[in-house]
Amino acid sequence: MLSPRRVLGRSEPWVFAAIVALSLLIQARSGQFFTGNNLVDLARALVVPALFSIGCMMVIVSGGIDVSFTAIASLAMYVTDKTLLARGYDGTVLLPYAMSAGLGLLMGALNGFLIAFLRLPTLIVTLGTSSLYTGLMFGAFAASASDVPPSIAAHGKQILFTAVNSDLGLTSTMPAQILILAGVLVLVFFLLRYTMLGRGIYAIGGDEAAAERAGFNVRAIKMFLYCFVGVLAGVTGIVRISMIAYADPSTMLGMELPVIAAVVLGGTRVTGGVGTLTGTTLGVALMTILANSLILMGVPTYWSRAFTGAVIIIGTGVTAWQTGLTRRGGRALSRPATGAPA
């Protein structure tokens, strides 16, 4: 049975409570939050940031920070899209996913090499590679919005079901791409929970030197991690353009801040070693509700950046408070009882 201190020390209950409170507030103001089409629209908007947040959470848990994943996704999907269009590709959507994932793997491997083997700071490396990939996309490839191959367009039209709001005459469709998100969640949950690789990621974030002494191959784990994030970014790029039915090279740039905010809000400590998929998913859900439901409350959308910044500050502050609470609890448990020999 969890003690009140341990419950207060976890972020998931707080974020869930915030989601419930915000949902009820929006419902009271608009009367439209709990309609089927609005919930489906929120689920649709959640898919891409949730995919990004999974990789981002893994990096932060390992004690690093990655701001290059949107640039990787944009360049990988754009090169894939232009190459297939130029060749008149009309096959299945598996090849675009494989090509984009492969390009993401190469770009993630560069991050991994610089961080794992040259031991360069993660933020500096990923800031640099983000600029590099963005510059290549707009400079060398002169990127601009374009059509997508027929297979990607057809993939974007695959839906699971349709929700109808009879009061307003609105319909919304649940995209099949949400199944990709579900599959990635299951895969990463298994990896983090049941494999030595997952334990190594947490161990490195807790104390890299101690993890190395414990026998974890720190370089190999970091290399895998950034390669995995690159593959995930490449897949996410194809998911994005299939859902919007055109390839805009700038559509994902700038999503780093909301994604990092969602991960931190979900309880992942910026110092590493602590973080859960549950908390991350709840954080993404809260950020998505904030970003997509402001209009229902009559709040101008340009306030979304202010909300994002406030969430990062509050989330980081809460994480620091929880860390202090946990440490105080640990000291209390280790302190000898009154009258006992010290």
Burial of 70 (C-beta count, 10 Å sphere; 0-12/13-18/19+): buried
Give residue 244's domain range: 49-251
Q: In the chain, what is the straight-line distance between the N-terminal and C-terminal CA atoms, in Å?
A: 29
pLDDT at 182: 97
Q: 0.85 cut: is pTM over it?
A: yes
Spatial distance between the Cα atoms of 90 and 12, rounded to a whole number of angstroms: 45
Confirm whether 175 is domain-assigned. Answer: yes
Tokens of 41: 């629209």
Which sign does the torsion angle of CA 260, 264, 269, 274 carry?
negative
Confirm whether 264 is domain-assigned. Answer: no
Confirm whether 296 is domain-assigned. Answer: no
Structural domains in the chain (count) = 1
Please report, in tens digits, the pLDDT of each residue of the chain (342 residues total): 555 555 556 778 888 998 998 899 888 888 888 889 999 999 999 999 999 999 999 999 999 999 999 999 999 999 999 999 999 998 999 999 999 999 999 999 999 999 999 999 999 999 999 999 999 999 888 778 889 999 999 999 999 999 988 777 788 999 999 999 999 999 999 999 999 999 999 999 999 999 999 999 999 999 999 999 999 999 999 999 999 999 988 999 989 988 998 998 888 988 899 999 999 999 999 989 888 777 667 677 677 677 767 766 776 676 667 666 665 655 554 444 444 333
Confirm whether 9 is domain-assigned. Answer: no
Confirm whether 340 is domain-assigned. Answer: no
Confirm whether 96 is domain-assigned. Answer: yes
Confirm whether 320 is domain-assigned. Answer: no
Could you tell me where the beta strands, DSSP code E, fall in 33-169? 159-165
pLDDT at 26: 86
Confirm whether 92 is domain-assigned. Answer: yes
Spatial distance between the Cα atoms of 100 and 222, rounded to a whole number of angstroms: 21
pLDDT at 333: 47
Contact 41, 24 (CB under 8 A): no
Residue (of 158, 146, 177, 174) closest to 78 by Cα position: 146
Tokens of 329: 């609890």
User: Where do we find the tokens 């026998």?
Assistant: 215
